[in-house]
Amino acid sequence: MTLLILGLVLWWGAHLLKRFAPELRARIGEKGRGIISIVLLASVALMVLGYHSAEVIDVWYPPTFMTHLNNALMILAFYFFAASGMKTAITRKVRHPQLTGVKTWAIAHLLVNGDLASIVLFGGLLAWAVVSVILINRAQPEWTRPAPVAGSREIMAIVGTIVVTGLAMVVHNWLGVQPWG
């Protein structure tokens, strides 16, 4: 569990450095992007290693029907990521589509994983995304909605969502987790 928590701390720190220590972030400048990228890769590696090596301590036992809700939410989470890149119609209504995607992803996983390591991992990333939205909105209260884009971008976002959903299913199956029940 120590590696998992250390990974979360690094994730939070690397992402929130700009908000909590803007002078430090400004001082390290452009070269800091590479350092932060390395810290983020290390944080992901630590979270994965920590999650998979953590003792399984069941806190609650999710009902099996939650799998269906999880799957629907995961499709939505992937769509938020695709929409963010394509600047589709939803990005005119949702200010932070990527962070909304992370929150949706985390909630979906909390619904189907009742062990302590899952609660720490997905709850920690959910909390990070919520805090990030709050900090960004405080720092930049005014939001300019993106301009409308061609409908073809919506189609590309939907196709991307389908492809990524399929890939996520394959990876989960490869890891021994059956995401579709």
Quote the pLDDT of residue 97: 97
Which CA distances in Å does 7 have to 18, 68, 120, 121, 170? 18, 29, 11, 9, 25
Using the structure block, give the residue that is written with the tokens 């220590």: 21
**Res 112: pLDDT:** 96
Burial class (CB in 10 A: 0-12, 13-18, 19+), 3: middle
Q: Where are the domains of the chain?
A: 1-54, 56-181
In terms of phi and psi (left: phi > 0; alpha: psi -120 to 50; beta: otherwise), the region of 56 is beta
**pLDDT for 29:** 82
Helix (H, G, I), strand (E, B) or coil at 170: helix
- What was the pLDDT predicted at 30? 83
pLDDT of residue 113: 96
Task: Render each residue's pLDDT in the chain as its tens digit; 181 residues.
Answer: 999 999 999 999 999 998 888 888 778 888 888 999 999 999 999 999 999 999 999 999 999 999 999 999 999 999 999 999 999 999 999 999 999 999 999 999 999 999 999 999 999 999 999 999 999 999 999 999 988 888 899 999 999 999 999 999 999 989 888 887 6
pLDDT of residue 114: 96
pTM listed for this prediction: 0.92
Q: What pLDDT score does 24 carry?
A: 82
